[in-house]
Each structure stands twice: as structure tokens, then as C-alpha cells.
Structure 1
Amino acid sequence: MPSESLHTPSGPARRTVMAAAGAAGLTVALTACGAGEDSSGAGSGSGSDVEAGAGAGAGAVLGKTSDIPEGGGKVFGDVVVTQPTAGEYKAFSSKCTHQGCAVKDVQDGVIVCPCHNSRFSATDGSVQQGPATQALAAAKITVAGDEIRLT
């Protein structure tokens, strides 16, 4: 009777492959929440990170004061700039604190995330309506003349 040899597979175990595939799928699903969305508006500003790490650096011009309607705002890459009252400009991260989607719309003093309808105050970034539970991170800007700059 011939002896049977036990064969040990040389590749990763099926369980390892399945776990990795599941993790990759979760990463893609979470990343896709904000992926492919052009939140830069009509292209009049340069994209910039709140920490000035990705895109334009500190001192970069985000846009003009005339780009920001009173009671509204505009998204410039990773920063949303608002004008809660005439001549008062505020800036926040444009990444929703719920799942990282890019906020899109600012009207009537409210910043709206299109993914799950979280709403934030255009004055201080605080949550007005969930599912987000944390405020948008503040960004530092300066207004000189008619230019809004990331600082």
C-alpha cells in the first residue's frame, strides 16, 4: 500500500486570505464615502489641508472674500470657509467627523455633509444635527484686503 504524503500548502491559509480581503473591502468602503467628490467649488481656490500638510501650505491664498456669501461659505479642498455675519470669516476642516466625507454645502449658517446629512454650525463648527457627534476642527485663516489665506 503506497504511503500518502501530507501536503502543506505553501501559500497563506484560506482564513488569512479571507480576513485580508474583508479588511481591504472595509477600507475601500470607508474611503469611498468621500472619494471622487470634487469639493473645490468652481476652481477659484487652491486645495489645502487644515494642517497645511497636503496641498497648499501656510500662507496660501484660499480665495477671495467675495467668494464667501454672508450666512454661507465655500469649500476649498480640505478647508471650508464661512462668513457667519458680515465681515466675519471662519474656517474649519471640510472632513465630516462622522465618516470623513467632504462637506459640500453651506447655507443659512449651516455646513451640510451630503453623505449622511450631518449639519454643523458655520459660526463654530459645532454639531447641529447628527449622526456626527464631534465638531469640525477649526482651521486658522487670515483675511488681508480681499484675500483669505491659510495660516
Structure 2
Amino acid sequence: MAAAGAAGLTVALTACGGSDDDSSSSSGSSASTDSNGATDSAGSTGSTGSSESASTGGAAAGNALTTTAEIPEGGGKVFEAEKVVVVQPTAGEYKAFSSVCTHAGCAVKSVADGLINCPCHQSNFSITDGSVKSGPAKKPLPEVKIAVSGDSITLA
């Protein structure tokens, strides 16, 4: 029963529609995933039996997420399965935010020119603090705790 609720929550959080209701469907889509779990296209991920953390939106704390070399200065990378975007606003400074847009629950898909971008309704968020820079979103992206040890970035 709890697994069905978690699956419904995943669909509700990643779905983007014209309404703000909590109803969800069970239609699934697939997305290509690289070895770090980052994806380049929209889609929901299936349950693999791994534990999920409410504070990180999917990845268990302490699991390696990426390396510092994978996060460009002034940019970042979206990790769809973990529902997190990791950024490097200035050299050597790494931050992470939820990748769930605060406007309609769509997943942000890219980081460019110092902005985290949501393709659904063109909301844009600052890589410095997650604040709204443009679009219909009114609330900033929530910060997600990460730990950087050597060249490894993990969810804290």
C-alpha cells in the first residue's frame, strides 16, 4: 500500500498539467539515464526497491551522486531519478536544490547562464540561491543538503 502511495506521489510531482489537483494517472514514460543517474529527457522512473528519502526526493543520503568534475562552474546538472539539481555558482562552491518546479510540479531540465530552467512554463531559478528569476513560479527551489569530499558529491 505504501509503495502505491509513493508511486502516485512520484507521478504527481513529475506530472505537469493545467490543473493543480492531486489526481494522478499510472501512465509511465521512459528516459535515458547515464551511469550517474542523470537524464536528458522527461520521464518517470520505476521503483527499484531502493529506499527513498523525503528530504532529497529519492536518493538515499550518503550515496555518491556525482563528481565535482561533472558540475561546470556557473552551471550544473539535473539528476532526475534523485529529483535534485547540483550547481557550482562560483569556483569550488557546490549547492543542490530540488528539481521539482515550485509552480506546477514539473521537473526542471537544464542549467544554463546561471539559471535553472523549467521547460513547462518557463520559470527560471538562480543557481546561487534557488530564487525565482522569471516565470510564473513564486517560490524558490528548496535547497537540498549535499556533502563534498575530495571530488565526490553525495546527498547528505
Alignment of 1:46-125 (within 5 A): 51-52=55-56, 54=58, 56-77=59-80, 78-125=83-130
- Tell me the CA shift for residue 107 of structure 1: 1.0
On the 8 A contact 1:50/1:139 being kept in 2, the answer is: no
CA distance in 2, matches of 1:142, 1:30: 25
CA distance in 2, matches of 1:147, 1:29: 31
Contact 2:57–2:98 (CA<8 Å) still a contact in 1? no
Equivalent-residue separation in structure 1 for 2:112 and 2:133 (angstroms): 13
Runs of 4+ deviating beyond 3 Å: 28-32, 34-38, 40-43, 45-50
User: 2:115·2:126 contact (CA, 8 Å) conserved in 1?
Assistant: yes
Contact 2:117–2:123 (CA under 8 A) maintained in structure 1? yes
Alignment CA distance shift 1:84-1:29 (3 Å): closer
Could you tell me which runs of 5 or more consecutive residues in structure 2 were left unpaired when the two chains were aligned.
1-10, 18-27, 39-44, 46-51
Shift of 1:73: 0.4
Indicate the percent of aligned positions where both proteins have the same amino acid.
Answer: 61
Structure 2 distance, partners of 1:37, 1:111, is 23
Bigger Rg over Cα? 1
Q: Is the CA contact (8 Å cut-off) linking 1:110 and 1:120 kept in structure 2?
A: yes
C-alpha displacement at 1:99, in angstroms? 0.5
Aligned length: 122
- Structure 2 letter corresponding to 1:136: L
Q: Would you say the 8 A contact 2:115–2:124 is kept in 1?
A: yes
Distance in 1 of aligned mates of 2:118 and 2:124 = 6
Distance 2:30 2:116 in 1: 16
Cα RMSD, aligned residues only = 2.8
Structure 1, unpaired ranges of 5+: 1-27
Structure 1 match to 2:16: 33
Q: 1:98 to 1:58 in 2, by over 3 A?
A: same
Q: Provide the residue aligned with 1:138 in structure 2.
A: 143
Q: Is the 8 A contact 1:105 1:111 kept in 2?
A: yes
